[in-house]
Chains A and B, each alone.
Chain A
Amino acid sequence: MDTTPVTAPGNDILVAEEVTKVFPGVIANDAVNLNVRRGEIHCLLGENGAGKTTLADILYGVYRPDDGRVLLNGEPLDLHSPRDAIEAGIGMVHQHFELVPPMSVIENVVIGTGAKQWLDLSEARRRLEEFFADYDVEIDPDAEVGRLSVGEQQWVEIFKTLYFGVEILILDEPTAVLTPQGVDELFRILRQMRDEGLTIILITHKLREVIALSDRVTVLRRGEVVGTVNTADVEQRDLARMMVGRDVLMQADKAQHDTGEVVLKIDDIHLASDTGRGSLKGLSLDVRGGEILGIAGVSGNGQNALFDAVVGVRHPEQGTIRIADADTTHAPPHKVALQGVASVPGDRIAQGLMMDFSVKENLILGNQRARRFARAGVLNRAEIDRFADESIEHFEIKTPSASQTTSTLSGGNLQKIIMARELSGEPRLIIVHQPTRGLDIAASEYVRRRLIEERDRGVAVLLMSEDLDEIFQLSDRIAVIYDGRIDYVAEPEATSLEEIGLYMAGVVEAAGAAP
């Protein structure tokens, strides 16, 4: 892959000197030095909680450094807000989006550009269409943002930033929400943008992406810079070692294993979603105890509806869902939970966490009545503390204390809270949607290993992921969801990435391989 920019990498454009940021109980950035050159793609790499987002937020004016300074083109840059950053030519797309869902694409783009521009949507439309044409992206400028797929929303975020005419674009884990095709598309466009002179700072946990895309990499560990290297000089393994400080086992082993009874049986369910997108149209599947059924698919093909139907948040209009011996087709979530179902939703903030609660409260969310944590309706604080400390240790959740407000944790650590909580009980069925989204490699491997352990204990695992490597690594059977149906199921040995990819894209009609 040719990663040499057309315009030779220039001088330092953005430099952080000894930047330090302290939050109560954590040094998020400890005398960080970073130099980003004009026209390069510079990756920031590091474990969850290493301080990547914090550093990016400082460059983008969200936080002010407690010490040290930031230089833009050699001049000290004193930012007080993202708006200052944008004025200085620095834009950022955050890990968790900041769009206004009920508004249109175009309104989201012009929002915040100042009152005078509000009325002149035609000019904005022209420019936006120009962008879309330039980069071959198909999005309707009048579409309501809430109805776009996550990948498309990401495009809106990126174009919104470009619309301001920034010269430096910071992307915080943009690929965590993308399908493999989406990642390719993003990378194609990022290269094009770089070649046109844009400087890009990219945060990601996926080493393959770092190698494929970046010119240079800066690795952070516990708030400190471990080093900056030319991507061409290193391999994935080196980067992993820099990040973690030791060699990382890159594969979770999975032994052959006998499966048990069918735990989850879904029969021909139909569920219309109100946006019309992602409806289920006669989906059937079954998962046995002791197996992991991986569901591959481009997001927006019914994964959310499937998740909601299984956990009981929405109910199918037609068809049945059985968990073990119980018909849960119309059971509400609290009844479904009684069947021993653990669930990790796709949208961790909206569906999985109480951001205003403490970490320990989130760790017991849903189990607040479990005998372990409550006696006669009174919470057992000692036990909750014990459990929280245990979870924080096992999952290496980076937080100053178990009483910390959840919203202050880093993205990956939020995901760890959910995983720790859901893997803590003794479920019969685990349904996980993007379980390793935003997790660093060590944490991802830990979660994968735990999922395999659960499977080995006889738990049925329904895994939905857009990460095909993950699907192949974990699944005992792979199913492809496309347009609300599953018409293809195969064992990993009997299929290939390419074949799955074709079914995911809906290119191939299912032929005889049905469940």
Chain B
Amino acid sequence: MSDSGTSQQADEAAGSAGGSPPRGRDLRTALMQPDGWRLERRLEVRPTYELYATVIALAITAVLIGLLVLLVGVSPFDAFSSLYEGAFGDRESALETLVQSTPLILTGLAAAVAFRAGVWNIGGQGQFIAGAIGTFFVYDMFPGLPAPLLIVAMLVGAAVFGAIWATVASVLLVRYNTNEILTTVMLNFVIDYFLSWLLSGVWQASNTPYSQTERMAENTYLPRFFDDSRLHWGFAIALIAAAFVHFMMRRTSMGFEFRAIGVNKRAASYKGINTAVSIVAVMAVSGALAGLAGAGELLGLHHRINFEFGEQQIGFTGIIIALVARLHPVGVIAVAIAFAGLVNGATQMQISTGIPAALVTVIEGVALVLVLVAAVACRYRLRRGAVHADESAEGSE
């Protein structure tokens, strides 16, 4: 069907309608001012639109960043290719990218799970720290445990601590209806200070002026996959966690309830879903995932907690990843790896082109905003408003 001249036709058709009710035409003419371009809600939103929209958003991100790079006087091609080289160019850097993606997958999942249930857990960062604290706590408490058991106990400790920290916010939410966005953000600060207190007090390593713990015993190190890479079992744990999340959300009664409160909390409660319990449960799962991220970093890479431990803002990046991935667990893996690649490649880019590695933060931010815009935008379409050239003539019929 032809799109051209349609509003014109519609107009003529309407205009030729004689004998209409007295208050009809003049008013419509007055109200329907031509106003150029306008947005209209699409009634049919196909799932493929959303995918396209996301891809387009990412492409626009690349273009914008390219322009920015150009502005600094560097060829975007050089910048992107060095970025890519640094991220995935060879085996070493690709594996390192996976190393970096490990905690991001977990905190991304943490955010995705909570957001699916309509609970805005912005406290992934705090729960990440809580997880590390939990890990070290178990290490500190049970020095005699044999290594495999100890590692399992530490992972459990991390999950439990992360969950508990998230539960503080969820209990406040269900008991006193406090806004979880505010409480989770505040709790991030609280645990930061608590960690500082631990690092300069009970857990401070002896004979050092630094705020840091002892280095953990070697038998607590997460095994590595290869001799030439830091890639550790944490990555496998993250993949398993993604599978678990997918299974939980799609195949279990509990996940069903989580999604239900996320879609329509009112109907969920009419249908006898205990929304308070679901909120507490989903926050606990979310916190546990973020906590595991903390354990992975500690046991796989750092082996001691120091004041720099939370500096990479893994928890916050996880939120962005979850949103860019549109809350899908598989998407979270992909986006986390891409983001890790950016971080990893940025160093290479800085060395070979002089562009500051901080550009990565800009890329992440732009990508987030554009993907979110795309998510909304694919429900709309842009079109040209009708032009009423001969409105005034109509009344004379």
In the assembly, what is the distance between CA of A197 and CA of B23, in Å? 11
Central interface residue in B27, B260, B270, by most chain A CB within 10 Å: B270
In the assembly, what is the distance between CA of A408 and CA of B81, in Å? 45
Nearest CB in chain A: distance from B118 CB, A? 12
Nearest CB in chain A: distance from B183 CB, A? 23
Question: Chain A residues near B2 (CB, 8 Å)?
Answer: 78
Interface residues of B in 54-89 (CB under 8 A from A): none
Q: Known interface pairs A84-B386, A114-B31, A167-B24. Does A354 touch B260 (Cβ–Cβ under 8 Å)?
A: yes
Question: Chain A residues near B383 (CB, 8 Å)?
Answer: 80-81
Q: Are B260 and A365 in contact (CB under 8 A)?
A: yes
Q: Known interface pairs A63-B44, A369-B253, A377-B253. Does A357 touch B9 (Cβ–Cβ under 8 Å)?
A: no
Q: Are A374 and B253 in contact (CB under 8 A)?
A: yes
In the assembly, what is the distance between CA of A10 and CA of B25, in Å? 19
Q: Are A115 and B253 in contact (CB under 8 A)?
A: no
Q: Are A356 and B263 in contact (CB under 8 A)?
A: yes
Question: Chain A residues near B9 (CB, 8 Å)?
Answer: 75-78
Contact of B28 among A71, A165, A343 (CB under 8 A): A165
Nearest CB in chain B: distance from A434 CB, A? 15
Q: Known interface pairs A77-B9, A77-B10, A89-B24. Does A361 touch B264 (Cβ–Cβ under 8 Å)?
A: no
Q: Are B272 and A78 in contact (CB under 8 A)?
A: no
Q: Known interface pairs A72-B14, A84-B10, A353-B264. Does A334 touch B33 (Cβ–Cβ under 8 Å)?
A: no
Q: Are B264 and A197 in contact (CB under 8 A)?
A: no
Q: Known interface pairs A77-B13, A84-B7. Does A62 touch B43 (Cβ–Cβ under 8 Å)?
A: yes
In the assembly, what is the distance between CA of A76 and CA of B35, in Å? 24
Q: Is A332 an interface residue (CB 8 A)?
A: yes
Q: Is A337 an interface residue (CB 8 A)?
A: yes
Smallest CB gap from B277: residue in A: A334
Q: Is B1 an interface residue (CB 8 A)?
A: yes
Q: Which of A148-156, A215-223, A237-245, A344-352 contacts B (4 or more CB under 8 A)?
A: A344-352
User: Quick one: CB contact mask for B8-40 with A, threshold 8 Å, 1 for yes?
Assistant: 011111101101111111111001110100001
Q: Known interface pairs A163-B27, A334-B274. Does A78 touch B1 (Cβ–Cβ under 8 Å)?
A: yes
Q: Known interface pairs A198-B21, A379-B253. Does A78 touch B6 (Cβ–Cβ under 8 Å)?
A: yes
Q: Is B251 an interface residue (CB 8 A)?
A: yes
Smallest CB gap from B4: residue in A: A78
Question: Chain B residues near A127 (CB, 8 Å)?
Answer: 27
Interface residues of A in 271-311 (CB under 8 A from B): 311
Q: Is B257 an interface residue (CB 8 A)?
A: yes
Q: Are B12 and A75 in contact (CB under 8 A)?
A: yes
Question: Chain A residues near B254 (CB, 8 Å)?
Answer: 377
Contact of B13 among A88, A114, A311 (CB under 8 A): A88
Q: Known interface pairs A83-B40, A333-B270, A345-B270. Does A75 touch B32 (Cβ–Cβ under 8 Å)?
A: no
Q: Are A57 and B43 in contact (CB under 8 A)?
A: yes
Question: Chain B residues near A38 (CB, 8 Å)?
Answer: 19
Nearest CB in chain B: distance from A447 CB, A? 19
In the assembly, what is the distance between CA of A365 and CA of B268, in Å? 8
Q: Are A350 and B264 in contact (CB under 8 A)?
A: yes
Q: Are A333 and B269 in contact (CB under 8 A)?
A: yes
Question: Chain B residues near A423 (CB, 8 Å)?
Answer: none
Contact of A368 among B10, B14, B23, B256 (CB under 8 A): B256
Q: Known interface pairs A167-B20, A196-B21. Does A365 touch B271 (Cβ–Cβ under 8 Å)?
A: yes
Q: Known interface pairs A114-B31, A366-B271. Does A379 touch B252 (Cβ–Cβ under 8 Å)?
A: yes
Nearest CB in chain B: distance from A346 CB, A? 11
Q: Are B256 and A89 in contact (CB under 8 A)?
A: no
Interface residues on chain B, number (Cβ under 8 Å): 51
Q: Known interface pairs A80-B383, A117-B31, A378-B252. Does A357 touch B263 (Cβ–Cβ under 8 Å)?
A: yes
In the assembly, what is the distance between CA of A194 and CA of B212, in Å? 83
Nearest CB in chain B: distance from A488 CB, A? 29
User: Quick one: CB contact mask for A135-171 with B, threshold 8 Å, 1 for yes?
Assistant: 0000000000000000000000000000111110000
In the assembly, what is the distance between CA of A374 and CA of B40, in Å? 43
Question: Chain A residues near B263 (CB, 8 Å)?
Answer: 354-357
Question: Chain B residues near A84 (CB, 8 Å)?
Answer: 6-7, 10, 386
In the assembly, what is the distance between CA of A166 and CA of B25, in Å? 8
Q: Is A252 an interface residue (CB 8 A)?
A: no
Q: Is B266 an interface residue (CB 8 A)?
A: yes
Nearest CB in chain A: distance from B384 CB, A? 10
Q: Is B377 an interface residue (CB 8 A)?
A: no
In the assembly, what is the distance between CA of A142 and CA of B338, in Å? 53
Question: Chain A residues near B33 (CB, 8 Å)?
Answer: 114, 116
Q: Are A334 and B272 in contact (CB under 8 A)?
A: yes
In the assembly, what is the distance between CA of A8 and CA of B26, in Å? 24
Interface residues on chain A, number (Cβ under 8 Å): 68
Q: Are B17 and A350 in contact (CB under 8 A)?
A: no
Nearest CB in chain B: distance from A137 CB, A? 16
Q: Is A190 an interface residue (CB 8 A)?
A: no
Q: Are B24 and A165 in contact (CB under 8 A)?
A: yes
User: Quick one: CB contact mask for A63-77 with B, threshold 8 Å, 1 for yes?
Assistant: 110000101111111
Q: Are A81 and B267 in contact (CB under 8 A)?
A: no
In the assembly, what is the distance between CA of A353 and CA of B251, in Å? 19
Q: Are A366 and B273 in contact (CB under 8 A)?
A: yes
Nearest CB in chain B: distance from A185 CB, A? 20
Q: Are A333 and B21 in contact (CB under 8 A)?
A: no
Interface residues of B in 313-358 (CB under 8 A from A): none
Q: Are B271 and A333 in contact (CB under 8 A)?
A: yes
Q: Are B31 and A361 in contact (CB under 8 A)?
A: no
User: Quick one: CB contact mask for A407-445 with B, threshold 8 Å, 1 for yes?
Assistant: 000000000000000000000000000000000000000
In the assembly, what is the distance between CA of A368 and CA of B1, in Å? 46
In the assembly, what is the distance between CA of A295 and CA of B57, in Å? 55
Contact of A361 among B1, B13, B256, B268 (CB under 8 A): B256
Interface residues of A in 207-246 (CB under 8 A from B): none
Q: Is A336 an interface residue (CB 8 A)?
A: yes
Question: Chain A residues near B3 (CB, 8 Å)?
Answer: 78, 80
Central interface residue in A10, A13, A57, A166, by most chain B CB within 10 Å: A166
Q: Are A379 and B10 in contact (CB under 8 A)?
A: no
Smallest CB gap from A343: residue in B: B270
In the assembly, what is the distance between CA of A113 and CA of B33, in Å? 9
Q: Are B27 and A73 in contact (CB under 8 A)?
A: no
Q: Is B259 an interface residue (CB 8 A)?
A: yes
Q: Are A115 and B257 in contact (CB under 8 A)?
A: no
Smallest CB gap from B273: residue in A: A334
Nearest CB in chain B: distance from A29 CB, A? 14
In the assembly, what is the distance between CA of A357 and CA of B32, in Å? 38
Smallest CB gap from B270: residue in A: A351
Nearest CB in chain A: distance from B70 CB, A? 37
Contact of B31 among A78, A113, A193, A352 (CB under 8 A): A113
Interface residues of A in 16-68 (CB under 8 A from B): 38, 57, 62-64
Smallest CB gap from B38: residue in A: A83
Smallest CB gap from A361: residue in B: B256
Q: Are B13 and A354 in contact (CB under 8 A)?
A: no
Nearest CB in chain B: distance from A341 CB, A? 9
In the assembly, what is the distance between CA of A336 and CA of B19, in Å? 60
In the assembly, what is the distance between CA of A313 and CA of B270, in Å? 6
In the assembly, what is the distance between CA of A497 and CA of B25, in Å? 44
Smallest CB gap from A114: residue in B: B33
29 example contacts (A-B, Cβ-Cβ < 8 A) are as follows: A64-B1, A69-B1, A72-B10, A75-B16, A78-B1, A80-B3, A81-B383, A84-B386, A86-B28, A87-B7, A87-B28, A87-B32, A89-B24, A113-B31, A127-B27, A164-B28, A164-B31, A165-B21, A165-B27, A166-B24, A197-B21, A336-B272, A337-B271, A350-B264, A352-B270, A355-B263, A355-B264, A378-B251, A379-B252
Chain A residues with CB under 8 Å of chain B are 10, 13, 38, 57, 62-64, 69, 71-81, 83-84, 86-89, 113-117, 127, 163-167, 193, 196-198, 311, 313, 332-334, 336-337, 343, 345, 350-357, 361, 365-366, 368-369, 373-374, 377-379, 381
Given A73-B17, A333-B272, output 9 extra A-B contacts at Cβ < 8 Å.
A57-B43, A69-B1, A71-B13, A78-B1, A88-B11, A88-B13, A89-B14, A116-B33, A350-B266
Q: Which 4 pairs between the two chains have the least Cβ-Cβ distance?
A: A337-B272, A366-B271, A75-B13, A78-B6
